[in-house]
Amino acid sequence: MAALAGLALCAIAGPVAAEDLYRGGSFPSIASDIKAGGIGDAVTIVIFENASASNRVTNRTSKQTQLQGGLSAGSIDERGSLGFGGTFSGTGEVSRSEQLVARMTAQVTGLAPNGDFLIEGQHNMLVNGEHRNIRIRGRIRPVDITADNSVASSRIADAQIDFDGKGFVSRSAKPGLINRIFSFLGIG
């Protein structure tokens, strides 16, 4: 009788459907930190850039010219010589070393066809009367974003990092007008 009741219940019940309760992107992992995942998200950029260059040129030239001649006519026998020369020696050396260390936040502004994030950011500071402006843009791979939502500047493809400064220190580092004129004329 119980079997007959179960069979009757199955016959009158309608079709059964179920929905999946899990959607892949809806539930972040419990063990992970919040990382940039799409357009509009923020990511911290750790900038550590070193650049150095040096160039040395040495130039030496020397030239000697000797001119001799004589005149003989009858009782006149004159001989003479003329010599002149010149030496030039010059050395030039340029050496430059720069280091930029900063931490700033950029925003994901787009997605590349391969899934990389396009980023842009700007950071303005006023330190002791000096205006500092750092701008960054480039392309990062989502796998390069660390657990604390940061990326090293060395991991940014097509990186453009601009660092500008205006103020007393920046002005005093530039040569004065007279030095620039002499340098332009090649005498300074």
- pLDDT at residue number 116: 93
Strand order in the sheet with 150-152: 150-152, 42-73, 76-111, 117-127, 130-140, 157-166
- pLDDT at residue number 175: 66
The model's pLDDT over 57-97, given as tens digits with 9 standing for 90+, comes to 777 777 777 777 777 777 777 777 777 777 777 777 778 78
The model's pLDDT over 108-146, given as tens digits with 9 standing for 90+, comes to 999 999 999 999 999 998 877 788 899 999 999 999 999
Assess contact for 160 and 139: CB atoms under 8 A: no
Average pLDDT (150-159) is 92
Does the structure show a pLDDT above 70 at 159?
yes
Average pLDDT (2-14) is 63
Domain boundaries of the chain, sorted by first residue: 32-55+94-188
pLDDT, averaged across the chain = 78
Neighbours of 41 (CB within 10 A): 16
Predicted TM-score (pTM) of the model is 0.54
pLDDT band at 188 (very low <50, low <70, confident <90, very high): low
